[in-house]
Amino acid sequence: MDRRWVGTDGLEVIPAWRAGRQVLRVRRHGWLVADCVSVAEVARHVDLADLCEVIDLPRQRGYEAVG
């Protein structure tokens, strides 16, 4: 399961790999802002209180979207 956090104004934080090291990639509207090696570094670019983790719920068999 992939982890992802979203915020205001098209902000997204996702785990990624860069040069063999795991980083937290900060993007705004799909454009790279920074690859951060710590949460403290992410906080320089983002108000952490504005982030919300996106959780993909498992789909139930036989369920079809209405509308």
Q: How many residues does the chain have?
A: 67
- For residue 59, tell me if it sits in a domain: no
Structural domain that includes position 24: 5-52
Does 29 reside within a domain?
yes
Q: What is the pLDDT of residue 16?
A: 95
Record the pTM.
0.79
Residue 27 belongs to some domain of the structure: yes
Tally of domains within the chain: 1
Q: Which residues contact 39 (CB under 8 A, 6 or more apart)?
A: 24, 48
Residue 41 covered by a domain: yes
**SS3 annotation, the chain:** CCCCEECCCCEEEEEEEECCEEEEEEEECCEEEEEECCHHHHHCCCCHHHCEECCCCCCCCCCCCCC
In a domain, 31, yes or no: yes
Tokens describing residue 36:
């951060």
Q: What is the pLDDT of residues 5-63, one digit of tens each?
A: 999 999 999 999 999 999 999 999 999 999 999 999 999 999 999 999 998 888 777 66
